[in-house]
Structure 1
């Protein structure tokens, strides 16, 4: 934990930095001069943890109390009066359960939504408050909510994932509508990274075909080389954020 405030002109809060796309985004942000606060249940790889510009904030995103306490810690740790650009990237999400809806217990539903939807909503709320309470200083503030093509299309045995991603898309649009008349508007985008070679893809390929009809699709996508590397997608996202987009837009990574 940090003992004094970090002074920097670019800072980012990224969830799910222990692996996959979140880790790749954190690494690319650091290369581009950001101080990164990575929120996750488990620590990242040592090569990231050793970097001075990275601060690991251990947090179970499904625990709302812990989530708010972690955000408070971050807001105390960065000298926002010196920040010219501030990012919130809500990347963490659950893929499972991957079963037909009648076979999913209520507790599993709650856990999924707490992690994949409630946590991003809470962080977006706190982030906007942090930015707009600053009366003497304004910065370029941007929210990126990582979504999926499955937020627009229905899929069997993926009711939880599809529903939470569809809600993330709508949350992003609602934030943009609310920010329309703000004195210092926060930009909010949903970002669909496409198919990436991550642990989520491995989990999808490992499902029983009888329970998860799309298992064959995920397996074939892997075998035919359709999965992109997380580092390439992270770099593409940061390039896109340097371009102008309508607030509330759904940004999509390049497809093969």
Structure 2
């Protein structure tokens, strides 16, 4: 029986998420990609990959995490638990919003940043772990974190808070799963600095509201940003490590 691996990836229509999805379009893999919009580019890559590759793209707004989690839970419950040798959830979606001091931030922007960046990953992780508890294969959760979850930056309070919360809920879930039969392995991983739309937003932010803007401009000018494809290869290499899950909060640059 050929091997079969399931990957659920949020924020897969662009940037790091799409780059990971493109690299996972391999025979034996089923990808369920969850984003606000489908990616024609990703669909084209899947068509070129040929037989043995399955791609599903859901249009789902993670700003409504309860609905997203319910949809994932129901879909997983409809799958054959014997089919997959492994199942992996990659919580990649996030937003930097409009960089500004907390005192100047709009209530709606703050709420959306935390729903997408923290509430959705937590609810999706709960849905994934619960629905796959009796599955035979290896189960993993990869949360895409950030150095800003571990080192604070002004005018980025919601993003910092979401990533710090992601790190810490990963630690808690790692303890729970370590004590469970067929427990999943979970890691909240900082992927390095990547040249994505988020970086464009930060470089284009108001210098008055975001004093660290010049730092991000310098990183771009000095060529210190990974391309999404390069970063995706590093992240997926970490995901495949034998010691994945040993440290629930990690950095892609950590030695093996």
Q: Same fold (TM over 0.5)?
A: yes
In structure 1, what is the equivalent of residue 87 of structure 2? Answer: 86
Q: Which shifted more, 43-52 or 229-238?
A: 43-52
Change (3 A) 1:49 1:118: farther
1:48 and 2:65 aligned:
no
Q: Distance in 2 between matches of 1:26 and 1:174?
A: 27
Question: What is aligned with 1:110?
Answer: 111
Correspondences of 1:65-80 after superposition (within 5 Å): 65-72=66-73, 74-75=75-76, 78-80=79-81
TM-score (norm 1): 0.90
Structure 1 moving runs of 4+ over 4 Å: none
Of 197, 202, 205, which residue of structure 2 is paired with 1:204? 202
Alignment gaps of 5+ in structure 1: 1-6
Contact 1:8 1:79 in 2 (8 A): no
How far did residue 246 of structure 1 move? 4.2
Superposed counterparts of 1:92-241, under 5 Å: 92-132=93-133, 134=134, 137-241=135-239
Question: What do residues 34-76 of structure 1 show as CA deviations (whole Å, max 9, x unaligned)?
Answer: 2100000011133435625210011000113430343145315
Q: Structure 2: how far apart are the matches of 1:72 and 1:24?
A: 25
Out of 32, 56, 61, the position equivalent to 1:37 is 32
d(CA) in 2 for partners of 1:238 and 1:227? 18
Summarize the Cα distance change of 1:182–1:230 in structure 2 as closer, same or farther, 3 Å threshold: same
TM-score by length of 2: 0.90
**RMSD of equivalent CA atoms:** 1.9
Distance 1:47 1:152, change over 3 A: closer
Q: Which residue of structure 2 lines up, in the alignment, with residue 25 of structure 1?
A: 20
Structure 2: 5+ residue stretches without partners: 47-52
**Cα separation, 1, equivalents of 2:81 and 2:15:** 28
For 1:30 and 1:73, the matched residues in 2 are separated by 24
In 2 relative to 1, CA 81–229 (structure 1 residues): closer, same or farther, beyond 3 Å?
A: same
Q: Deviations over 1:207-230 (max 9, x none)?
A: 111110111000000000000011
Report what 1:58 is aligned to.
Answer: 59
Secondary structure at the aligned position of 1:216 is classed as helix
When residues 182 and 93 of structure 1 are mapped into structure 2, their CA distance, relative to the original with a 3 A threshold, is: same
Structure 2 counterpart of 1:242: 240
Deviation at 1:234, TM superposition (A): 1.2
